[in-house]
Amino acid sequence: MRRYTYLFAIAIYGLVGCEPDDICLAETPGTPNLIIVFYDNAQPETKKEVSNLQITGVGLDAAYHNSAIDSIDIPLKANETSTVYKFIKIENDVTFEESVTFKYDSYDSFISRACGYKKSFTNVSVERSNTAVWIEKIEIITDTISDIKNTHVKILH
């Protein structure tokens, strides 16, 4: 009987003592960023790079991005219903600054015990400062942002 007791204790230890703890893997898709792709205003189906684009969230000092690009994904504020970004294009040492407000509703959906919930955004709309500086047009491709598979917003310049 004693032999069994030892075996039993080891079995319990193996089974219960090392119960796996769920870990939220770093690659788990969380709250999606807003994907913006820049297009040529003259040829609306052709991507066009913005030379020296600086993107900074209004209220923050650090720029989110600062280099030439033709597409980018930017985070929206999860706890609020709007996010304002400054899109600054620097061309030949001349600064063209424009601020864009993204407005939206949101909902939370469950991922897992370890990861919690993620936010998705709905009814996404855009508001711009009155005068167009370098952006010609902003088109919303999809007003629901629940993943980062496709373009959400198209900016023509």
Partner 1 sequence: MLKYYINFLIFLFCGCIWAQNEVETDSLATEIRYGIRLGVDMSKPIRMFIDPDYKGLELVGDYRLTRNLYIAGELGNETKKIDRDAVHFETSGSYIKLGIDYNVYDNWAGMDNLIVVGFRYGFSQHSQTLLGYNILNNDRYWEEDNRIALTTPKRFDGLNGHWIELQLGLKAELFRNLYMGLSIQMHRLLKDKDPENFENLFIPGFNKVLTDNPYGAGLNYTISYQIPIFKK
Binding site for partner 1 (CB under 8 A): 1-2, 4-5, 8-9, 11-13, 15-17, 19-20, 22, 24, 26, 28, 30-31, 33, 57, 60, 64, 74-75, 77-79, 83, 108-119
Q: From the CB of 7, what's the least distance to partner 1, in Å?
A: 10
Comparison of 13 and 141: residue with beta carbon closer to partner 1: 13
Nearer to partner 1, 3 or 131 (CB): 3
Q: Closest distance between partner 1 and the C-beta of residue 128, in Å?
A: 21
Instruction: For 52-116, give the DSSP string.
Output: EEEEEETT-SS-SEEEEESEEEEPPPTTSSEEEEEEEEEETTEEEEEEEEEEEEEEEEEEETTTE
Question: How many CB atoms are closer than 10 A to CB 47?
Answer: 12
Q: Which amino acid is at 8?
A: F
Q: Please report how close the Cβ of residue 79 comes to partner 1 at its closest, in angstroms.
A: 5
- Single-letter residue type at 61: D
